[in-house]
Structure 1
Amino acid sequence: MDHKRISIDSLSAYYDFFPTLSSSPHNIAVYGFDQRGWGRSVKKSSENGLTGPTSLVLSDIHDFVLHVASLTEAKGKPLFLMGHSMGGGETLYYLLSSPPAFSNRPKLSGFLLEAPYIELDPSEQPSFAKVLVGKLAALLLPNTQLKQKLDSTYMCHSAKVRQDWVDDPLCHDTGTLEGLKGLLQRAGDLSTLSHGRHVLGIQTKLPCPVWLGHGTSDRVVSPEAAKRLFDVLAAPDGDKIYQAYPDAYHKLHAEPDGIAEQFAKDVAGWILSHGKQPATEHQPTKTGGEMKAKL
């Protein structure tokens, strides 16, 4: 069988991480989804990267959270939200945004971030001129596709994991001008917040405790920018933890030499320590992808 035809979806792309969380002794139920324009949400090549504007990206996250909440609340279980890389930036933006459409956002017991995209590594950062031209083009041709191949070198220390990422047909490296514009705008807003400046429509106050893990040698997204934003985030009762993983790359959940195992242990431990239903949204009590989706 041609290994390039083997698909890795939003959950299996995390290798042993989610099975570890969902099995004994942790027994944490895990739900994930493929972001619009990615993974198995795509039925034809013209849909690759067709995420839509930020409003649609956030609405998709909100609908997914509402769906999972309907499953967990019926069982009296606490709810956690988690995002990785692009999904980390998207879920963070979702929780820091306050449009009326999200007034019915379910209560969360905690929020977890794995190497969230606040800023790209300086070596990957597009120039100001390129960003400006892209934004202007997005106004005229929003659904125009643009392939942007990322370097796999710093995704993971494991050669197999890097090759899996390169070979995965569901990871198509294709965005649209509108989607890329929204991605850069959200990251820009979060970066602005990290410098202590005001951004219309988003705030620094989170509705629940937060845990953030980042590899110190990640050169896909910037750990320094993530830490800078983390420092200005306000969580209920100051309940927030930043966990640095020395010398680790971007995919903490798949890093070799015991790092992935320690990461899973840290995440599970934090979730279980906060596993009480919050009384209100503002009292303390993981997903989309990159999020290629993701809880």
Structure 2
Amino acid sequence: MAATTEGEFATRDGTKLYTKTWKPESDATQAVLIFLHGFSDHINAYYDLFPTLSSSPFNIAVYGFDQRGWGRSCKKPADHGHTGPTSLVISDVHDFVLHVASLPEAQGKPLFLMGHSMGGGEALTYMLSTSLDFSNRPPISGLLLESPYIEMHSSGQPSFAKVQAGKLASMLLPRMQLKQKLDATYMSRSEKVRRDWIDDPLCHDTGTLEGLKGLLQRSADLSHLSHGRPLHGFTTKLSCPVWISFGTGDRVLSHVAAQQLFNVVDAPNKDKTLKLYPDAYHKLHAEPDGVGEQFAKAAGEWILAHVGKQAEEAQVGEPQSGQKAASGS
């Protein structure tokens, strides 16, 4: 079993956010994974996913944090949903990536980034952004996306008028809190998981007008890219391999939109994978009948395969015994 530790890290504006780490008990850590949770969720609500990844045979150290406005990073109800605008949301992600990459135990280990739902959309926004604010982003060995928020499922998309009214209201009352309750029906096929999510006080379903506007805009940007349209400040060329997973039974978000984006993005050596789980719902990590276990195994195997590829590439780049490395003239 993995060893877990809790703590805090400070963002660049001094805000302290809750963190949790799952580490292999031995010194056999093969990779480091940073995880971004979804909307109205928190890092302690992912069941067996992190213990599985951090245990043998994977031995992947997992680092997560409750994002600003969510989970244990909220000290009082007034903090619920106060994520700030997208610039602050992605800045927090960048700060956490830099924080983890700087840890002594992460030195020399391949670094991977993974996000679920809203967190998947944030991970994509972060990795596809061309902003100079992220020019010091450490090398990412792979990007994993679980049910990423590109578009809402067609059955739940808000009307154009509602979106426009929300944008206007967010300009006038950006910090106004608003319940945005998600239907638990399609979260998981497990009744227990659905009930856990409903009963969890940390899954508070509360956003602010500013935060919800940012969430919708990030989705709109990614949807724009998925249709092959260029967008200022973004690229479709990833700097690392990508693995996207989605349940075809998901009625929260659209697996079709994720597939469209998958078709558009480029990855080094065309190293990209789309894994669809027939009829599975939104929380793939918590699906019953063995699906959750299959999902965790597939994610762990993909990470280790790319740890191996990276090691092979490093060996190819090293001079052979008795030879000197070529130098440029």
**One fold, TM greater than 0.5?**
yes
| Contact 1:88–1:115 (CA under 8 A) maintained in structure 2 | yes
Please state which structure has a larger fraction of its residues in strand.
Answer: 2
Q: Tell me whether 1:219 sits opposite 2:247 in the alignment.
A: no
Q: Rg bigger for which structure?
A: 2
- One-letter identity of the residue aligned with 2:83: T
**Matched residues in 2 for 1:276 and 1:28: separation?**
13
Distance 1:109 1:149 in 2: 35
Task: Give the Cα separation in 2 of the matches to 1:74 and 1:91.
Answer: 20
Query: Could you tell me how far apart the structure 2 residues matched to 1:133 and 1:233 are?
Result: 32
Partner-residue secondary structure (3-state), 1:241: strand
Q: Distance in 2 between matches of 1:72 and 1:204?
A: 32
TM-score (norm 1): 0.89
Match of 1:254 in 2: 286
Shift of 1:74: 5.0
Asked if residue 188 in structure 1 is aligned to residue 220 in structure 2, the reply is yes
Of 160, 174, 178, 1:142 maps to: 174
Query: Which residue pairs with 2:201 in the alignment?
Result: 169
Query: What is the identity percentage for the equivalent residue pairs of Structure 1 and Structure 2?
Result: 70
Q: CA offset at residue 12 of structure 1?
A: 2.7
**Pairwise CA distance, 1:123:** 1.4
Match of 1:54 among 80, 86, 96: 86
Q: Matched residues in 1 for 2:101 and 2:42: separation? A: 19
Give the gaps of 5 or more residues in structure 2: 1-39, 312-329
| Contact 2:101 2:107 (C-alpha < 8 Å) held by counterparts | no
Deviation at 1:144, TM superposition (A): 0.6
Question: Secondary structure of the equivalent of 2:61?
Answer: coil
Q: How large is the Cα RMSD of the aligned pairs?
A: 1.7
Once the two structures are TM-superposed, the CA of residue 94 in structure 1 deviates from its matched residue by 0.6
Q: Does residue 1:23 correspond to 2:68, yes or no? A: no
Q: Determine which of 107, 112, 118 is the counterpart of 1:86.
A: 118
* Larger RCO, structures 1/2 (Cα 8 Å, 6+ apart): 1
CA contact (8 A) 2:42 2:202 kept: no
Task: Evaluate the alpha carbon distance shift between residue 180 and residue 167 of structure 1 in structure 2; reply closer, same or farther with a 3 A threshold.
Answer: same
1:227 is aligned with what amino acid?
Q
Answer whether contact 2:188 2:287 (CA < 8 A) is retained. Answer: yes
Match of 1:130 among 162, 177, 194: 162
Q: Verify: 1:43 aligned to 2:96, yes or no.
A: no
Residues 17/184 of structure 1: CA separation in 2 closer, same or farther (3 Å cut): same
- Tell me by how many angstroms 1:99 deviates: 1.0
**1:154-177 deviation line (CA, Å, top 9, x unaligned):** 000000000000011111101001
- CA contact under 8 A between 1:10 and 1:32: conserved in structure 2? no
How many matched pairs?
273
Alpha carbons of structure 1 residues 236 and 171: separation in structure 2 relative to 1, 3 Å: same
Give the TM-score normalised by the residue count of structure 2. Answer: 0.80
Q: CA deviation at 1:242?
A: 0.2
